[in-house]
Structure 1
Amino acid sequence: MERVVDITTDNLSLAVHRGFLTVTFGAEERGRIPLDDISALIVHAHGTLWSTSVFTRLSDRGIPVVICGTNHAPAAMVWPLEGHHLQGARMRAQLAASRPLAKQLWSQIIKSKIRMQGNILARNGQEAGAFDLLARKVRSGDPDNIEAQAARRYWKLLFGPNFNRDQDAPGINSLLNYGYTVLRATLSRAICAAGLHPTIGVFHANRANAFALADDLMEPYRPLVDQMVLDLVRGGETEITSETKTMLAAITTLDLPGPVGLSPLSVQTQRFVHSLARSFETGIAALELPNPPPTPANAVLDANSLLTNSPNA
């Protein structure tokens, strides 16, 4: 399985040697990872040193490098400029996509997200029937902002009436930030592999956001991170540590059902993004969206981790 490499210790040096990413502290080598095994490199630490060859060799393989701020949310990302033989044609199709097509794509994404939220709530013994009804109400482009209506109910039901989603807050919010960072990197790599441009979003169009498309496409997967964070909180973990990062990074190995059976999230995202590229090319909104993972028989009672039954975990 491809690995998310997270640099959290200050003053480490990164280099590339004979097909490996090497990590050293002074003259001491702390570890090495085959470049072909890396799905994303995330850097939280201060004083990290690296050479240009690290970026170029990772970019050659379509591996995004994510640099995080103190709140564990992405502050910058290095994304490969080329590397897909259909890139030019697909980017032109992406740019030429009509507004009605973009609205249809966005409504499919939001419906999938709301249904995934309902699935997560049902896993945890909450009444989730309203979320299926909300998903059915989503119209092209979500002009009624059903997404926000679902979110207001969802956060209170999942984490309690006193919880507020705040990207700059510590505790649960920082765990969510880190999990979403892993998702953002995973989707960014899939976008690169499909020959699309990350800045040109389906819905998000903030001029300051260079990865609007990744932010659009990660929406249906966010509730999966939410469940993992809830499991950590129930286990007494409320802060970012090396252990909680390891758990959250494992979301890329989570098995999701699809047309060809179970496959890891990292593989399912690639099919999802390729279906988006085909939609741009054909003008027909037909996305291969993620399905909820298999539910253990006792999940409603004790909210077993999503990874419990995943052979890739």
Structure 2
Amino acid sequence: MSYHIINIDSPRCSISCRQGQLTCIDEDGRTKQAPLEDVAAIVITSFSAQLHSHLLLEAAKHGVALVICERFQPVSLLLPANRSSDTLLTKAALSLERKKVDVLWRKTLDAKCLNQTLYAEFLVPEHAKLDVLRKRALGKAQSKEGTCARYYWGIFADALGLKDFKRARDGGGVNDLLNFGYAVLLSLTLQKLLACGLDPTLGISHEVRERSTPLAYDIMEPFRPCVDSRVARWLMEEVEAGDYRIDGRFRHYITEFILERVGYLGLEMDLKNCLESVVRSFRSAVLTGQTRSYKPWTPSNSKWAG
């Protein structure tokens, strides 16, 4: 399974595919190449890039997602269609009982809230709000996602010394760093869904909207703290306080979170492989109608859990 995520940020460049090689030539004539078969996604943040149609065709053949960004936020996802045409699987997804869909989402939500709690404990082991966060994460309240998020981001802000921080997509500052990391996670999730034949438009919780991929947002939820962890380490160890620039160095740093080792079902593996395993478990649950087959990720035997 390919896994490289290529970021293209040269102000003006030409992007094409030559003899199976993803090729980028910048305005100074410098050329960089990578085997397209090793690429999971291409994130384009360049404000003036030229895309050759042959690249779009070859990317589709190789199952590569193209994420086109404006101000470092994704505004377009170009997805290959040939890997999501599993008729039997699509039929099973469409006919899944509402009760079973709710169970799948509840398992996803429980994993997300638990992962947020584990990372908050790792960040500030003695924080006064940890007990409340843990109690909410283990509870069954319908509104626990929002409640856990409020406590979690409060602890996150305290750990980094961020005054008046609020998690908001358009909030600027640290939010921009998080958004970029989530865009990378989204592109990887889409790649895995398509590779397993799952239609990303058939979600289990996120609202279905025109040209949206709700299943990708559903599946990636428990993995968001992995991005949060990477961003926190960047702010604490790599840059001076208040430096929220999304430059080439940050983009290179943040995309490497997919290669970090995590625990999953008693095994240690790269996060990218863990995500694929989760997607495969979801596929099995949909095909068989057995929700117990779905195993969302929680780092039960990783560093967060000690």
TM-score, L = length of structure 2: 0.89
The one of 242, 247, 251 equivalent to 1:241 is: 247
Q: Is the 8 A contact 2:12 2:47 kept in 1?
A: yes
> Which residue identity is paired with 2:259?
T
Aligned position for 1:50: 51
Q: Indicate how the Cα distance of structure 1 residues 88 and 37 shifts in structure 2: closer, same or farther if over 3 A, else same.
A: same
- Check 1:106–1:30 CA distance in 2 against 1; reply closer, same or farther (3 A cut): same
Q: Does 1:76 align with 2:82?
A: no
Residue 149 of structure 2 is matched in structure 1 by 151
SS at structure 2 position matched to 1:12: strand
Q: In the alignment, residue 297 of structure 2 is paired with which amino acid? A: P
Aligned pairs, how many? 292
After TM superposition, the structure 1 stretch with the greater mean CA deviation from structure 2, 146-155 or 205-214, is: 205-214
Q: Provide the aligned C-alpha RMSD in A.
A: 2.0
Q: Distance in 1 between matches of 2:122 and 2:105?
A: 26
Alignment counterpart, residue 302 of structure 2, candidates 283, 294, 310: 294
| Greater mean deviation of Cα atoms: 249-258 or 123-132 | 123-132
Cα distance change of structure 1 residues 210 and 22 upon mapping to structure 2, 3 Å threshold:
same
Q: For 1:180-199, what aligned pairs fall within 5 Å after superposition?
A: 180-199=182-201
Aligned to 1:167: 169
Give SS of 2:5's match.
strand
Offset, 1:130: 3.3
Does residue 59 (structure 1) correspond to residue 60 (structure 2)? The answer is yes
TM-score, normalised to structure 1's length?
0.87
Partner-residue secondary structure (3-state), 1:28: coil
Distance 1:179 1:279, change over 3 A: same
- Cα distance in 2, alignment partners of residues 90 and 52 from structure 1: 31
Say if 2:278 is the partner of 1:278.
no
CA distance in 2, matches of 1:214, 1:81: 15
Structure 1 equivalent of residue 31 of structure 2: 30
Match of 1:213 in 2: 215
5 Å-filtered alignment, 1:56-135, equals: 56-70=57-71, 72-83=72-83, 87-126=86-125, 127=127, 128-135=130-137
Please tell me whether the aligned partners of residues 12 and 24 of structure 1 are also in contact (alpha carbons under 8 angstroms).
yes
Task: Check 1:296–1:153 CA distance in 2 against 1; reply closer, same or farther (3 A cut).
Answer: closer
2:289 maps to amino acid? G
Cα distance in 1 for partners of 2:61, 2:176 equals: 31
Kept in 2, the 8 Å contact 1:252–1:264? The answer is yes
* SS at structure 1 position matched to 2:291: coil
Measure, in 1, the Cα distance between the counterparts of 2:61 and 2:304: 40
Return the letter of the residue paired with 1:123: F
* Identical positions, percent: 23
Aligned-partner Cα distance in 2 for 1:87–1:260: 30
Q: Residues of 2 paired with 1:260 and 1:87: CA distance?
A: 30
How has the CA–CA distance of structure 1 residues 260 and 19 changed in structure 2, closer, same or farther, with 3 Å as cutoff?
A: farther
SS at match of 1:162: coil
Deviates more, 1:189-198 or 1:209-218: 209-218
Deviation at 1:255, TM superposition (A): 1.1
How many Å apart are 1:135 and its aligned residue? Answer: 2.7
Whether the aligned pair in 2 keeps the contact of 1:118 and 1:129 (CA below 8 Å) is: no
Question: 2:204·2:218 contact (CA, 8 Å) conserved in 1?
Answer: yes
SS of the aligned residue for 2:37 comes to helix
Deviations 1:60-101 (A, max 9, x none): 12111111121x2221101111136x7111111111112111
Matched AA of 1:149: T
Partners of 1:256 and 1:290 within 8 A in 2: no
Query: For residue 81 of structure 1, what is the amino acid of its counterpart?
Result: A
Q: Partners in 1 of 2:18 and 2:223 — Cα distance? A: 35
Query: What is the CA–CA distance in structure 2 between the aligned matches of 1:217 and 1:2, rounded to whole Å?
Result: 18
- Once the two structures are TM-superposed, the CA of residue 208 in structure 1 deviates from its matched residue by 3.2
- Using the TM superposition, name which of 119-128 and 244-253 deviates more: 119-128
